[in-house]
A and B are shown apart, each in its own frame.
Chain A
């Protein structure tokens, strides 16, 4: 009898405290992953050069092509924001990317660029400055002939 009563009481309190803990954990991590297949051709005439996969986006033309990706993010209060850009390159190929932020009225704020030539990259980049309501885009120039795939971008909470 005593065990059942004790267990019941503990279960109720544990459930309440546990649900609160789950909520707190969800609020603490608000990173957002954006899939590479949401990226689009940067130049209007190159739409047919861009190919989409279940694991990203690639360029199937014989020349390098840029794609642009919307980078979803939570409005964050920090002065900067960090991102991870993930993708692959075949041997001897390179992918060059630029993250750019514009404010709510369309004024350029800052950008950060990088070049990756390793086979599987998981590149960390930080925008020099960003505002709470800024919009962020990612422009990546992909190697030709499907020799590089952009998997996606992660906006880190800050």
Chain B
């Protein structure tokens, strides 16, 4: 890695040097051969101020390049690269942080949904009809029928409590259960319920369509 970086920087420095030399050469040739529309070329006219400006600029560029090369030398002299163990330790710390952050974010997201659900007032025009539909979907999926402990729909979302025996059957049924509400409650999020013995079930929240900006305002396929 360090070698490749050194190689790249050296190539950049070399390329820049070549460019500077080319500019110097080109400038000189241009100055000496350029036909003047006024009949007076820069050199012939004896305008040292312009030539002096060019030289000053080029000296500055060379100085910058020298400083870059010196910086690279310092990096090489700074010491050996981190060992594989050191690098692995950094990755482990990073992974742990990311996982913890993911857990925190999920917990906060569910807490927000719970709070929003708690604030909802039951809509008598929506709640009974959608509750009936949720129960009908539950009855149509064996694992859901046996696992569901309660359904509560309020104004825009539903809360479903399900028991999980840990066999994987609940997870198997969830996507097909969710598909039953693709039109009205397309989003679903869940939280595991635990007791002293471990996970015992889940609380699922069925929610309406996302109100976030559509694809034209967000990420592109291209």
Contacts and interface: CB of A to CB of B under 8 A. Distances in A.
Interface in A116-158: 124, 126, 128-129, 131-134, 137, 139, 141, 154, 156-158
Q: Is the interface of A mostly helix, strand, loop or mixed?
A: mixed
Contact of B174 (A10, A100, A132, A158): A100
B109 A128 contact: yes
Interface in A1-53: 1-3, 5-10, 12-13, 15-16, 29, 31, 42
A6 B102 CA distance: 54
A103 B174 CA distance: 15
A98 interface: yes
A13 B181 contact: no
B21 interface: yes
A90 interface: no
A12 B188 contact: no
Interface stretch (B36-44, B79-87, B148-156, B208-216): B208-216
Contacts of A7: 22
A130 to B, nearest CB: 9
A12 B13 CA distance: 10
Contact of A100 (B98, B175, B218, B219): B175
A70 to B, nearest CB: 13
B105 A129 contact: yes
Interface residues of B, number: 51
B187 A110 contact: yes
Contacts of B171: 102, 108
Nearest to A131: B102
Contacts of A61: none
Interface string B13-51: 011101111110110011000000000000000000000
A77 B174 CA distance: 25
A43 B103 CA distance: 31
B142 interface: no
Nearest to A129: B109
Q: Give the 3 A-B CB pairs with smallest separation, nearest first.
A: A131-B102, A9-B22, A9-B19
16 contacts: A9-B20, A10-B19, A16-B8, A68-B175, A80-B212, A97-B182, A98-B175, A102-B171, A108-B190, A112-B188, A112-B210, A115-B179, A129-B106, A131-B105, A154-B221, A157-B219
